[in-house]
Structure 1
Amino acid sequence: MKRTLLLVLSLFFLVLAGCAGPSPRSASLQPQTRPAPLLLISIDAFRADYLQRGITPNLQHLADTGVRAKAMEPSFPSLTFPNHYTLVTGLYPDHHGIVNNNMIDPKLGRFSLGDRKAVADPRWWNEAEPIWVTADKHGLKTATMFWPGSATRIHGYRPDHWRPYNGKLTPTQRVDQVLEWLDLPAQKRPTFLTLYFDRVDHDGHEYGPDSKQVNAAMHRIDAAIGKLITGLKQRGLYRHMNIIVVSDHGMAPSPASHTILMDKLIDMHDVTVVSMGELASLIPKPGRTTAVEAALLKPHPHMQCWKKQNIPARFHYGSNPRVPPIVCSPQTGWTVSTSGWLATHTPSMGSHGYDNANPLMRALFIAHGPSFRDDGRVVPEFPNVDVYPLMTHLLGLPAQPNDGDYDTMKVMLRPDAR
């Protein structure tokens, strides 16, 4: 059953916030009850239909000998940090607090992807408990080969093994690190691991989703996954490890001509800009709210703006204090910018962050391992909040309050694993 009662969540997070330091570690799971290891792999911006391009044979093998979804719906906004945190908490961004890649918090100030100090501040992440924290509390070792939030202490915990983000590491080097962790002695070996690849996203932005560069990036990452499979087989782990492969969102072509100039609609001195691009978020300055609302809330050819309290309910977005007073969502393939920014920057050829119901934003989901069916089954589309309760089930962990629905995922599992 969907658990979206904000009162329950608010009380839960209030209790967590009042804790001074980490909670006492729960009793470790007994060896005979330890679950099969679980590896969560994210290929950033791997659109669901990319699999049909026929250039990722190792991913296709996992799908053909496991299960996959027709597609997975990302959460709104379909951006990297919000959706990665949703995958490991089961909460919509409005509920876990990472509401955008760029944010302003009344107490914490600004947050952006490139601000290492802000990203490392646990107060941005403490509105939720990611699965590696719950696993650690229950005696399972964890390891993250990059994942938003994993480089800081959340509620006093961080993964047992982790690496600070380094975009220069190749896909093969990232796989090598995961295999090294799996070679650790049993008492240090992780049971839950993450593995993150970002090249498909970078090339999709720079060259567009239909480019040869995106295809080449997919091919390189697929080769690294092939090396991972070989390494797991050599260690006798392949048949005993559950593997879930996801993406955070898709990618849409965004021609330079598809640009909405915000400075042609409002006086930019009247607002504090929180974010632009595929989701424009604005805070009107004192005394300028009426003028800004009058200009933005009326119909626009390729963009719709709302007061935060009027954002459509299907987006599950607008109640968190970090969502600014005015949010503008451009039509898929369009971006919001200013004349000044365009004068000094080259627009992206591909973009995401749009309406999460658009097919071009659809994400990948493949699952393989001893708990999953092995008949290549293709299941209907589901929202990405459902991945979290599936993972807590696989690991035998108590699920924290979340917006997901485990019942939608049971069809993927072998009957004895439900």
Structure 2
Amino acid sequence: MTRILAWLLAFALPALVGCSEAPPRDDAAARAPLILISIDGFRADYLQRGLTPTLAALAADGVHAEAMQPSFPSITFPNHYTLVTGLYPDHHGIVHNTMQDPALGRFALGNRAAVGDGRWWAEGEPIWVTAEKQGLHTATMFWPGSEAAIHGVRPDHWHPYDGDVAPRTRVDQVLAWLDLPATQRPAFITLYFDAVDGAGHWHGPDSPELNAALRDTDAALARLVDGLRRRGLYDRVNLVIVSDHGMTATPPAQTIYLDDLIDLSDVDVVTYDVPAELNPKPEHAAAVARALLAPHPHLRCYARDALPARLHYGGNPRVAAIVCIPDDGWLVSTHARQAKRKRALLGEHGYDNDDPAMRALFVAHGPDFRRGVVLPEFPNVDVYPLLAHLLGIRPQPNDGDLTPLRGALAMPATAMHR
């Protein structure tokens, strides 16, 4: 009987320890810190331009994917939140950069009150919240959602977004967090760069300005890598470098005018460009549907509940009643809106996520990754289970799957000990 009791205790005690609600924060000192880096608008094939040697070296010495498929719509806020929740936009609730909620009103990138309101983000739980709940320190050098207290929790360190903060300053802040004492150092850090996306919008994906932004962003990555080397952390920190979407050229002549198709007074337009979303006024719903859902050159419009299932989009009430998806390189606008533009939009994203021009970047490097591995394309919901695995935390329910990324890991997922 004594042997049986001892045998049971030998297995039961580790199991009970493993089920504890939150590991002690001191355990973070034994982890490889994880830095999640986003280069907004970095199309997958930009890596082949020869303008980003630091990023190319990290890819060659670590792991990179042929491409990563963004979630639909292939725009910034929905995909950044997908990356840190593992949920499709329909499931985490950030369905567009601009959206309407029946109770909360209107959300837009420039509406700082909405961006900082945790209720908008509460349909998902970002990984920094999960990590904090499980006893880890976290920090965000910009990331959509990080300005809000989500489920009442914030990162230990965070900054409100400011596009004027130079890339090198952002890097220096990350390095400063890594300089904290081991028991205070964040186990999870985000770092966000936006110059590539801005250059793509205002100058086009094949412009000299876009190429300059690639070089500048790579220089910021080089500053990070150099800082890690000087601290003896280069081979002790896991880097996961992603983008949210790609970019395609949008010649000014390729504009579809809504007011050529419908009477604008019959609808409330939630958002233009790509995708365009609108809500018909009840008394005009049938006429608007007949006009927009009919075939149109370079444009496909869908009732919310009739969107293709592969898009995983349309079930959330924040999605407008009609969603219009133009062909690659086309924009949806109105004559008056185009006349008021101060400058032409020469590049855009948001298109069907199966469009090759929307393909995103994935590179990973560090002690928990193999070297010289090229992964087939995978959907970006799969990044979240990878992040949770690297942090050694219990993930929230999500739409992702670690299986496509297991080949990137230096040790089998079941054998890794955090």
TM-score range, shorter chain: over 0.9
Judged with a 3 Å threshold, the aligned counterparts in structure 2 of structure 1 residues 33 and 306 are, in CA distance, closer, same or farther, namely same
SS of the residue 1:398 aligns to: coil
Alignment deviations for residues 306-337 of structure 1 (CA, whole Å, 9 cap, x no partner): 10000000000000010111100000110000
Question: Shift in Å at residue 187 of structure 1?
Answer: 2.5
Corresponding residue for 1:144? 140
Corresponding residue for 1:167? 163
Of 301, 306, 329, the residue aligned with 1:310 is 306
Structure 2 residue 373 is the aligned partner of structure 1 residue 394: no
Question: Shift in Å at residue 28 of structure 1?
Answer: 2.3
Structure 2 residue 354 is the aligned partner of structure 1 residue 357: yes
Could you tell me whether the CA contact under 8 Å between 1:77 and 1:353 is conserved in 2? yes
Judged with a 3 Å threshold, the aligned counterparts in structure 2 of structure 1 residues 300 and 216 are, in CA distance, closer, same or farther, namely same
Could you tell me whether the CA contact under 8 Å between 2:272 and 2:333 is conserved in 1? yes
Of 236, 239, 247, the residue aligned with 1:240 is 236
Task: Please give the residue correspondences for 1:117-128 in structure 2 after superposition, counting only pairs within 5 Å.
Answer: 117-128=113-124
Corresponding residue for 2:410? 414
Corresponding residue for 2:7? none
Aligned equivalents of 1:82, 1:300: Cα separation in 2: 27
Of 256, 263, 275, the residue aligned with 1:260 is 256
Aligned equivalents of 1:61, 1:143: Cα separation in 2: 26
Alignment deviations for residues 65-118 of structure 1 (CA, whole Å, 9 cap, x no partner): 001000000000000000000000000000000000000000000000011011
Structure 2 residue 108 is the aligned partner of structure 1 residue 107: no
Question: Shift in Å at residue 188 of structure 1?
Answer: 1.9
Opposite residue 231 of structure 1, the aligned amino acid is G
What's the TM-score once normalised by structure 2's chain length? 0.92
Of 40, 57, 62, the residue aligned with 2:36 is 40
Could you tell me whether the CA contact under 8 Å between 2:254 and 2:331 is conserved in 1? yes
Aligned equivalents of 1:62, 1:118: Cα separation in 2: 37
Alignment deviations for residues 13-37 of structure 1 (CA, whole Å, 9 cap, x no partner): xxxxxxxxxxx97342553884311
Alignment deviations for residues 139-172 of structure 1 (CA, whole Å, 9 cap, x no partner): 1100100000001100000110111101001111
Could you tell me whether the CA contact under 8 Å between 1:371 and 1:417 is conserved in 2? no
Corresponding residue for 2:16? none
Aligned equivalents of 2:181, 2:70: Cα separation in 1: 37
Could you tell me whether the CA contact under 8 Å between 1:57 and 1:222 is conserved in 2? yes
Could you tell me whether the CA contact under 8 Å between 2:40 and 2:197 is conserved in 1? yes
Corresponding residue for 1:281? 277
SS of the residue 2:235 aligns to: helix
Corresponding residue for 1:323? 319
Judged with a 3 Å threshold, the aligned counterparts in structure 2 of structure 1 residues 32 and 82 are, in CA distance, closer, same or farther, namely closer
Alpha-carbon RMSD: 1.3
Aligned equivalents of 1:180, 1:309: Cα separation in 2: 48
Q: How many residues align?
A: 394
Could you tell me whether the CA contact under 8 Å between 1:103 and 1:322 is conserved in 2? yes
Could you tell me whether the CA contact under 8 Å between 2:71 and 2:311 is conserved in 1? yes
Aligned equivalents of 1:160, 1:336: Cα separation in 2: 41
Aligned equivalents of 1:103, 1:274: Cα separation in 2: 6
Alignment deviations for residues 210-249 of structure 1 (CA, whole Å, 9 cap, x no partner): 0010110010110110010010111111111110000000
Could you tell me whether the CA contact under 8 Å between 2:62 and 2:369 is conserved in 1? yes
Corresponding residue for 2:335? 339
Question: Shift in Å at residue 417 of structure 1?
Answer: 5.1
SS of the residue 2:336 aligns to: helix
Could you tell me whether the CA contact under 8 Å between 1:76 and 1:93 is conserved in 2? yes
Aligned equivalents of 1:32, 1:403: Cα separation in 2: 27
Corresponding residue for 1:91? 87
Question: Shift in Å at residue 286 of structure 1?
Answer: 1.9
> Is the radius of gyration larger for structure 1 or structure 2?
2
Question: Shift in Å at residue 344 of structure 1?
Answer: 1.0
Structure 2 residue 223 is the aligned partner of structure 1 residue 227: yes
Task: Please give the residue correspondences for 1:172-211 in structure 2 after superposition, counting only pairs within 5 Å.
Answer: 172-211=168-207
Aligned equivalents of 1:121, 1:134: Cα separation in 2: 18
Aligned equivalents of 2:329, 2:388: Cα separation in 1: 36
Could you tell me whether the CA contact under 8 Å between 2:29 and 2:182 is conserved in 1? no
Aligned equivalents of 2:127, 2:39: Cα separation in 1: 19
Opposite residue 371 of structure 1, the aligned amino acid is D
Aligned equivalents of 1:417, 1:284: Cα separation in 2: 49
Alignment deviations for residues 372-414 of structure 1 (CA, whole Å, 9 cap, x no partner): 001x221100000000000101111111010000111101111
Aligned equivalents of 2:165, 2:77: Cα separation in 1: 19
Structure 2 residue 268 is the aligned partner of structure 1 residue 272: yes
SS of the residue 2:189 aligns to: strand
The answer for unaligned runs of 5 or more in structure 1 is 1-23
Corresponding residue for 2:5? none
SS of the residue 2:282 aligns to: coil
Aligned equivalents of 2:21, 2:344: Cα separation in 1: 48
Could you tell me whether the CA contact under 8 Å between 2:29 and 2:183 is conserved in 1? no
Corresponding residue for 2:77? 81
Structure 2 residue 128 is the aligned partner of structure 1 residue 132: yes
Corresponding residue for 1:53? 49
Aligned equivalents of 1:41, 1:149: Cα separation in 2: 15
SS of the residue 1:260 aligns to: strand
Opposite residue 193 of structure 2, the aligned amino acid is F
Corresponding residue for 1:14? none
Corresponding residue for 2:15? none
Aligned equivalents of 1:149, 1:200: Cα separation in 2: 21
Corresponding residue for 1:250? 246
Judged with a 3 Å threshold, the aligned counterparts in structure 2 of structure 1 residues 112 and 32 are, in CA distance, closer, same or farther, namely closer
Aligned equivalents of 1:32, 1:315: Cα separation in 2: 38
Aligned equivalents of 1:25, 1:166: Cα separation in 2: 35
Q: Equivalent pairs: percent with the same residue?
A: 60
Question: Shift in Å at residue 186 of structure 1?
Answer: 2.0
Could you tell me whether the CA contact under 8 Å between 1:47 and 1:361 is conserved in 2? yes
Aligned equivalents of 2:291, 2:407: Cα separation in 1: 49
Could you tell me whether the CA contact under 8 Å between 2:267 and 2:279 is conserved in 1? yes
